Amino acid sequence: MTRATVLQEVRQMRFEELYEQRQRRTFTRGEAADILRITERAFRCWSGRWPGSRRGRRPTGI
C-alpha cells in the first residue's frame, strides 16, 4: 500500500466521521472543513456526493 493510498483512506475516514457529526448539527460546514484543512466549498461538494445525500454518489476526490 503506497503512502498516497494510506493518506487518502485516512482522509476518507475523517470525512465520514465529520459528515455524520455535521448531519447531527454538531458544528457548521465551515468548522468541518477547517478540521479537514479543506475549503468549505470542497466540503459541500464532497457532502453532495456522499451516500444519503441527494445525489447519493460516493466522493471520488477524497
Which residues, 6+ apart, have CB-to-CB distance to 51 below 8 Å?
57, 58
- pLDDT tens digits for 16-37? 888 888 888 888 889 989 998 8
- Where exactly are the structural domains of the chain? 3-48
Q: How confident is the model at residue 56 (pLDDT cuts 50, 70, 90)?
A: very low
Residue with cell 448539527: 25
Exposure class string for 9-37: b at 16+ Cβ within 10 A, else e: eebeeebeebbeebeeeeeeeeebbeebe
Model's pTM, two decimal places?
A: 0.62
Express as a percent the part of the chain with pLDDT over 90: 23
